[in-house]
Chain A
Amino acid sequence: MPSDGYHSTPYWNPRNETMPREDLARLQLVKLRRLCEFAYEKTPFHRRRFDAVKFKPDQLKALDDIRRLPVMTREEWVESQTEHPLFGDLIATDPADAIRYHLTSGSTGRQPLRALDGLKDWEWISEMWAYGIWAFGVRPADIVYFAFGYGSFIGFWGAHYACEKIGALVVPGGAQSTRARIEQIMTLGVTTVFSTPTYALRLWQEAADMGIDLARDSRVDKVIVSGEPAGSIPAMKRQLENGWGAKCGDTAGMTEIGTIFTFECAAQPGGTHIIEDHMYEEVVDPKTDGPSNYGDLGERIVTSFGRGFIPLIRYRSGDIVMRVPHSNCTCGRTFDIYDGGIRGRWDDMKLVRGTNVYLRAVESIIREYDAIDEFQVYLWREGNIRDEISVRLELKPDRQSEWEGLRERLGRDLSHSHEGLRFNIELMPPGALPRFELKAKRLVDVRFESSAPGGR
């Protein structure tokens, strides 16, 4: 039997994950130039974009040169799909060469994007997950559970294949009840659970209702989350780690590239490393598209080297991030970090009586209150004149008596962090608010709906 010495390294790809940054930049430039040459030759969509600014891929002499190309938007992709159904003119080869179809979850309420991938694209998609989950400690001896519905939303598909690639035993949770999933986790001695943060919390609560203390009774030592910004919210992470008695690792991906682009390593530096040998990530000021500095909040612009079926060059993600140097982590990787993971989306920002409100900022405060079981942020208009913001809460069944004090404290905390904006805090009956398995939708804005006079 061959030696398994590689199990002990914390890096999936030791050479690249610890590569000096000047070498990393040289590698990115080689890949970027080849990707642009390929996209220019094979896709009318990208050729138009290059030609419009009189720029040719062979003029790419330094990474910064790519900034001559305007950012690509989701709207352009949708328009391409509409004009050239079904997949638009940004696909680089015959759709008959594809082996998989997925579509975006449409979390921003717009037309979903349709994505095709070939054989090697799927190998790459799982490879990116392998970087992340190896870094968090998944090894061949692990028994891994996917609390995931395995549908058209790309979700944890890539992670499933990555775990198989690593050699772990994979248990596909599939379509079954939360209770049945918990029973499987306990019966099979699962060590690692993949889920959205919200659903991981729900699994823990359901287990408690079944009389199971997951921290005490299960073998789970790693909970790996994705799909929502909440995975890097400290209070949420703390709740999950305490509830499961396990380390909670955050990852973030997007259907547009098919996989994750950032992961939390076992050193848990308070953020997620960018997979920089397979992506070129820029952070820009969303108003000017000018580059942001380390420590500035900005918007992610992604170029993915691996997925060639649909080349993505300078794609505007909508994600709010704060990039910091790799040296903020002790793990030895030279990949830079998104401090606090994905901090939300620019299109999640709501203006309420002149104050900017971000769902994630509100959630960060709410998660500090562990008596809260579920919540919803509800925006409405009083008398069609004044914007109002309500936080609707359900408390855990055994914590109902805390309501009065909690209402006052939470209202004060939210107001203090939002320039004095008054939040209405409302108690909802148990089970009244929606629960989510995939991407949670906890922001409801009815201010501009004519069918909702007064917004109520």
Chain B
Amino acid sequence: MAAKKQTDLIGVATGPSEQQALAIYRELKELAGRPDLAPCAARGVRKALACMWNVVNDLDLEFEQLYDLGV
């Protein structure tokens, strides 16, 4: 079975760099949710996540709020 085509918020197919950006964003979200991070990591990851939120928002890949993660 063919893999489902990945699309952005308005249904346009995404390219490799967009898929990579979205994957990094999702990894950062997952990491930010971990309870075992040191303060330096917890805050740094959140800062990075805020930046990546902007990237995926600008590229129309994702649009959501992150306050549950303190971001």
Contact = CB atoms under 8 A, between A and B. Distances in A.
Interface string B28-71: 00000000000000000011011101100111100111110011
Contacts, number: 61
B9 A38 contact: no
Contacts of B10: 23, 26-27, 30
A13 B58 CA distance: 7
B63 A34 contact: yes
Interface string A121-133: 0111001000000
Contact of B71 (A16, A23, A118): A118
A309 interface: yes
Contact of A309 (B12, B54, B67): B67
A309 B70 CA distance: 11
> How would you classify the secondary structure of chain A's contact residues: helix, strand, loop or mixed?
helix
A15 interface: yes
A127 B51 CA distance: 10
* Interface bin, chain B: 20 to 34
Contacts of B57: 124, 278, 306
A315 interface: no
Contacts of B65: 38, 92, 308
Contacts of A124: 53-54, 57
A93 B60 contact: no
A314 B12 CA distance: 28
A380 B34 CA distance: 65
Interface residues of A, number: 27
Contacts of B60: 15-16, 27, 277
Given A16-B58, A119-B46, A119-B70, A30 B53 contact: no
Nearest to B9: A30
A122 B50 contact: yes
B58 A97 contact: no
B26 to A, nearest CB: 15
A36 to B, nearest CB: 12
A60 to B, nearest CB: 14
Interface string A267-296: 000000000011000000000000000000
Contacts of B58: 13, 16, 127, 277
A34 B65 CA distance: 9
Nearest to B12: A23
Interface string A25-40: 0110011001000100
Interface string A76-97: 0000000000000000111001
A112 to B, nearest CB: 24
B9 A97 contact: no
A373 to B, nearest CB: 43
A93 B59 contact: no
Given A16-B60, A30-B10, A127 B54 contact: yes
A68 interface: no
A236 to B, nearest CB: 33
A150 to B, nearest CB: 21
Contacts of A409: none
A290 B8 CA distance: 33
Contacts of B49: 119-120
A289 B47 CA distance: 40
B67 A123 contact: no
A443 B47 CA distance: 43
A30 B9 CA distance: 7
Contacts of A306: 57
Interface string A301-314: 00001101100000
Contact of A30 (B54, B63, B67): B63
Contacts of B12: 23
B64 to A, nearest CB: 7
Interface string A323-367: 000000000000000000000000000000000000000000000
A44 to B, nearest CB: 16
B50 A120 contact: yes
Contacts of B50: 119-120, 122-123
Contacts of B47: 119
Nearest to A122: B50
Most buried by A among B10, B46, B64: B10
6 contacts: A30-B63, A34-B63, A120-B49, A127-B54, A277-B60, A278-B57
Interface of B: 9-10, 12, 46-47, 49-51, 53-54, 57-60, 63-67, 70-71
Interface of A: 13, 15-16, 23, 26-27, 30-31, 34, 38, 92-94, 97, 118-120, 122-124, 127, 277-278, 305-306, 308-309
